[in-house]
Homo-oligomer: A and B are copies of this chain.
Amino acid sequence: LIHRFEATRKNTVYLCEGLEIEDMVVQPYAEVSPPKWHLAHTTWFLEELILNKNKNHYSFYNEKFRKLFNSYYKCLGEHWVQGTRGTLSRPTVNEILEYRRIIDELINDLAIKEKENSAFSQILELAINHEEQHQELMLMDIKRILAENPLHPVYQKTNQNKIISPLTSNQRCWINISEGIYEIGADESQFAFDNEGPRHKVYLENFSLSNNLVTNSEYLEFIEDHGYSQPKLWLSLGWDWVKKEKIISPLYWVSPNEKKAICEFTMQGLQPLKLSAPVSHISYFEADAFARWKGMRLPTEAEFEVCAVKNKGLTDVFKSQLWCWTKSHYSPYPRYKTFAGELQEYNGKFMCNQFVLKGGCMATPKGHYRNTYRNFYGPEQRWMYSGIALAKDEI
């Protein structure tokens, strides 16, 4: 576990390689955090929830960091307003790296001392998983920051997180599931976030799920059929969003009105749109409207999970690509219990007006995803690596 901890911590810093200091400071939108904030917040998490709980009279590295790098834990005192993280020039990136080094050493020493302590192992495992979540968030935020810049900076020259090309539309196969009672959700046999449990029964009707993701080519047909101009395809809030934000294409498409020259902002800079690749960075509103236009629908989270369990190949395809929107609002499972103590704020309080995504994505750290995983975002959000898997009812 200590080795996994060290590797995870190193990897977070590694993800910032190639960035300029300036890239690590800015916050173009309230929901996009500066990379240096992620470096500091994940360290704050270790201080507040491990060092301070497990060491007598623990003296914090800097008392002011307790407020600055608390994300949203009300029971841990005041926190800096999320949308103003980008106004903080200090601590500098180097000061934060030094902060990480010092805290990592303290955790290391403590972990050696507590290595037989299973409660300690549990919280350390949670901290690792927390840091992994922020690695994915950091890759989302970095993309959003670089995309905002008209100079189109490049994060990495080659696409190391290779997207497995999905099957083409003609070859789409449907995985059929029969009506009946199924069990979904996490039991206690291995680590899971609180929102994944408890394991419980659901009743599903006959349905099928596509074995691959909707492609840019298919999505372009939707656009060309005036998908963004037909209110009947959209949820009411979705239509308001399209009109207010003047949405005419997925988030990172550039020049969508000049069909031959559509480009997409990627981690390798601006690239011609690859028609066979899965359409990405779309909102729930868009995924839902596309599915309606196609005469199909999005799967529920239970349907997705049941399919994935039954079909190992499917999981592999999805998890190396894009998170799939489900039509399920993010609600607690029956008999859901939050984590204890301050960690009760980890997941439960967000179970309102968001939708569940399943499947993982190319930015998800290896080993982080499980079939029971429940990712969640508001229906208008698009900067995560999101895509569309279609479902349909069967007789």
Contact = CB atoms under 8 A, between A and B. Distances in A.
Interface of A: 20-28, 36, 64, 67-68, 72, 74-75, 84, 86-93, 145-146, 148-151, 153, 181, 200-203, 205, 231-232, 234-239, 327-329, 331-332, 334-335, 344-345, 349-353, 379, 393
Contacts of A87: 26-28, 86, 145, 148-149
A352 B329 CA distance: 8
8 contacts: A20-B89, A22-B93, A25-B26, A25-B89, A72-B236, A87-B149, A89-B146, A328-B331
Contact of A90 (B68, B153, B235): B153
A75 B232 contact: yes
Contacts of A327: 331-332
A322 to B, nearest CB: 21
Given A331-B329, A351-B235, A22 B92 contact: yes
A226 to B, nearest CB: 14
Contacts of A84: 28
Contact of A205 (B75, B205, B234, B335): B335
A234 B345 CA distance: 10
Contact of A149 (B89, B149, B334): B89
Nearest to A342: B232
B90 A149 contact: yes
Most buried by B among A20, A24, A91, A237: A20
A89 B22 CA distance: 5
B331 A20 contact: no
A228 to B, nearest CB: 13
A37 to B, nearest CB: 12
Nearest to A93: B22
Nearest to A379: B352
Contact of A89 (B23, B68, B329): B23
Nearest to A344: B232
Nearest 4 CB-CB pairs, A to B?
Answer: A329-B329, A74-B231, A28-B87, A22-B89
A137 B8 CA distance: 44
Nearest to A21: B21
Nearest to A181: B203
Nearest to A148: B87
Contact of A379 (B88, B92, B150, B353): B353
A253 to B, nearest CB: 20
Nearest to A353: B353
B74 A232 contact: yes
A100 B376 CA distance: 46
A201 B204 CA distance: 8
Contacts of A349: 234-236, 239
A150 B64 contact: yes
Nearest to A75: B232
Contacts of A150: 64, 67-68
A86 B86 contact: yes
A151 B329 contact: no
Contacts of A329: 329, 331, 353
Nearest to A35: B89
Given A90-B153, A328-B331, 8 more contacts: A20-B92, A22-B92, A27-B87, A90-B149, A201-B203, A202-B203, A205-B334, A235-B350
Most buried by B among A148, A235, A236: A236
A75 B328 CA distance: 27
Contacts of A28: 84, 87
Contacts of A149: 87-90
A13 B23 CA distance: 21
A26 B92 CA distance: 12
